Amino acid sequence: MGQYTHILLAADFNPESEKVVHRAKALAANFHARLSIVHVLEPISIAYGGEFPVDLGDLHKELEKQAKQQLGALGEKLNVAPEHQYLEVGITEKEILRVAKANGVDLIVMGSHGRHGLALLLGSTANAVLHHADIDVLAVRVGKKS
Amino acid sequence: MGQYTHILLAADFNPESEKVVHRAKALAANFHARLSIVHVLEPISIAYGGEFPVDLGDLHKELEKQAKQQLGALGEKLNVAPEHQYLEVGITEKEILRVAKANGVDLIVMGSHGRHGLALLLGSTANAVLHHADIDVLAVRVGKKS
């Protein structure tokens, strides 16, 4: 009882988030649980409120290519097979939850940043996931000494 | 890296929260971490907005006595020595954080309830702890099938 069987790491590729990766790895190892990874790209129109004046298709393709590479490298490092690496486009918290529910995840591991600047946004994401999840959420504190 | 060494279970003695206890136990066992327990009694004047018309000293004493018994029983069940069982009076999230910081806790495990009625309050507590903690927080989903 109390064991986790399928852990989903919500990865944001922020250098500060190395700690989140280590936590997810230790949890999966200690619980002998399956580990999957999800990374969500928000459409640029969402990130910039739809006010960007140029065609962003190429930029999005480039970002997607970079994200795919980073996800692949992280998957290799963590021994997560490509079919358990999810690269999604959409609203971060919605996509994390969708992937978690579709794959029988029982624990989501994600970073929780501080409360100012860009950090606020990421803290809000952890918060939104927490409030909508029927699934346990581990918020790993990043960007502060601890 | 990524290992937890001191886990604090925030216990509310709600029958629904059995799952939170099991998660904390499994985590402490799998990480070979120390386990402590905190339970917070909110002063009745806080819980009722200070509008209660009678002297509540006796009632508070009775609640404190009951809480002490429940905490002791849980501590015995989880092999947590009395000196690592903390019964505090105050604002729940503040007391949880205070005990966590004073004792070098690196992970707080607590229940996260649904979003209606009393559940909202408890969900808010998990949320408040999460937002103010420099420490990782595991929100264990209770009160829903999962």
What is the longest distance spanned by two Cα atoms in chain A? 54
CA–CA separation, A63 vs A16, rounded Å? 19
Q: What pLDDT score does A77 carry?
A: 95
Coil, helix or strand for B34? strand
Confidence of residue A127 (pLDDT cuts 50, 70, 90): low
CA distances from B93 to A85, A115, B8, B38, B110 (A): 36, 17, 13, 11, 11
A109 lies in some domain = yes
Give the C-alpha separation, B69 to A136, whole Å: 29
User: Which domain covers residue A93, as residue numbers?
Assistant: 6-141
Contacting A residues, span 29-58, partner chain B, CB-CB under 8 Å = 30-31
Residue type, A84: H
Whether A119 is in a domain gets the answer yes
Beta strands in B11-84 (DSSP E): 34-41
Domain assignment present for B62: yes
pLDDT 10s digits, A54-73? 567 788 888 899 999 999 99
For residue B100, being part of any structural domain is answered with yes
pLDDT in tens, A41-57: 987 665 555 565 556 77
A123 touches chain B (CB under 8 A): yes
Q: Is residue B146 part of a domain?
A: no
Q: How many distinct structural domains can be found in chain A? A: 1
Residue-wise pLDDT tens digits, A21-46? 999 999 999 999 999 999 999 876 65
A1 within a domain of the structure (yes/no): no
Mean pLDDT for chain A overall:
83
Pick the residue of A6, A138, A144, A146 with the most B CBs within 10 A to test the interface with B by mutation.
A138
CB contact under 8 Å between B136 and A30, yes or no, is no
Residue B1 lies in a domain: no
Q: For chain B, how many residues are written?
A: 146
Cα separation of A79 and B28, whole Å?
25
CATH of the domain at B96: 3.40.50.620
Hey, are the CB atoms on A26 and B24 less than 8 Å from each other?
no
ipTM exceeds 0.90: no
Query: What's the sign of the alpha-carbon dihedral A139, A68, A94, A83?
Result: negative
Residue A50: its pLDDT value, please?
A: 56
Under-50 pLDDT residues of chain B = 115-122, 145-146
Query: What's residue B94's pLDDT?
Result: 86
* pLDDT at site A32: 96
Confidence category of residue A133, pLDDT binned at 50, 70, 90: low
Q: What pLDDT was estimated at residue B75? A: 97
| Confidence (pLDDT) at A122 | 47
**Mean pLDDT (whole number) for A76-100:** 93
Cross-sheet strand order for the sheet of A85-89: A85-89, A34-41, A6-10, A107-112, A136-141, B136-141, B107-112, B6-10, B34-41, B85-89
Ramachandran quadrant class, A117 (left: phi over 0; alpha: psi -120 to 50; beta: rest): left
B130 to A139: CB separation less than 8 angstroms, yes or no: yes
Residue B63 domain-assigned (yes or no)? yes
* Pairing of β B6-10 and β B34-41: parallel
Q: Mutation target for A interface from B20, B137, B142, B144: give the one with most A CBs within 10 A.
A: B137
Residues of chain B with Cβ-Cβ distance to A111 below 8 Å are none
